[in-house]
Structure 1
Amino acid sequence: MKDIIIDDFQNAVSESLIRHKSILDIMTKLGESQARINRAIAKSATNCGCIKIDVEKQKLPQDCSLEDAAKILSHQIKGKLCDNCREVLEDEIGTELYYLAALCEALNLNLFDILLKEYKNVTTLGKFSLL
């Protein structure tokens, strides 16, 4: 069922994409949508203040296992997104997904197949997938 939803989403994007159908338009709109996500997160911290980004170098003991590292390392975010900031971010991430699906469609790729392949990699390799 989930593959049908993702495939239907990709098909709906393909049918609705008229103005920015060029691969260059899709690429730049995808980059713009990523920048808007970053900006929305920054504004959540700087304008709204619902979250605080508390960044410093994260230190791990030398004999730290991967399991322990997962418990020790943090996202370095304090607080919780307010309803308004959450809605803005959800909209921006939705736009990102739209242009990602458009990119897949333009290049004759299947978003669900890519998602499934990445899921298999992550579940097979677990914590070792990003080393």
Structure 2
Amino acid sequence: MSEKSLESFQTQVSDLLIRHRSFLDVTSKFQESNARVNRALMKSVTDCGCIKVDAKKQNYPDNSKVSEWSAQLSTHLDGKLCDHCHDVISAEIGKNIFYLTSVCNLLDLKLADVLEKESDRLFTLGVYHLR
């Protein structure tokens, strides 16, 4: 997404956020939308079963480089989201982004600037950011 598209989205969010314009409302809605993303993910496992979580201790290879770890470490996920779960999770993430953008608007932060700064930081730190 280009910077112009992000600015357009941010303006659209500002124009549409009318009822819950209070900082307290927006931050609680942001937290609630994050919980809904997590709930949709869990339902993909527990209700639908299209994905499965197979978690165990990560074993970091002794004689490999940090740059090779991502190819050797597990995501603990098996399967693929079905169309229904994909749609539900995408919609919930979209709402979450809406409220994240609303927080940015209330704090007079440009979403594009926030993303650019994080990208620059990740680029500078490379694999040493270890998230």
TM-score range, shorter chain: over 0.9
Residue 122 of structure 2 corresponds to 122
TM-score (normalizing by structure 1): 0.95
Structure 1 stretch 120-129 or stretch 108-117: which is displaced more? 120-129
The size of the alignment, in residue pairs, is 131
The structural deviation recorded for 1:124 is 2.1
Q: C-alpha offsets along residues 32-61 of structure 1, whole Å, 9 cap, x if unaligned? A: 011001000100011000000111111113
Taking the aligned partners of 2:61 and 2:3, their CA distance within structure 1 comes to 42
The match for 1:42 is 42
Give ranges in structure 2 of 5+ residues lacking alignment: none
Per the normalisation by structure 2, the TM-score is 0.95
1:68 maps to a residue whose letter is E
For 2:21, give the aligned amino acid.
K
**C-alpha displacement of 1:30:** 0.5
Q: Deviations over 1:3-24 (max 9, x none)?
A: 0110010111001101110001
Shift of 1:130: 2.9
Q: Counterpart amino acid of 1:9?
A: F
What is the alpha-carbon distance in structure 1 between the residues aligned to residue 20 and residue 63 of structure 2?
51
Identity of matched residues, %:
44
Deviation, structure 1 residue 63: 3.5
1:109 corresponds to 2:89: no
Could you tell me which residue of structure 1 aligns to residue 96 of structure 2? 96
Find the counterpart in structure 1 of residue 59 from structure 2.
Answer: 59
Match of 1:31 in 2: 31
Matched residues in 1 for 2:70 and 2:123: separation? 16
Post-superposition offset of 1:75: 1.3
The separation in 2 between residues aligned to 1:51 and 1:116, in whole angstroms, is 32
Q: Partner of 2:59: helix, strand, or coil?
A: coil
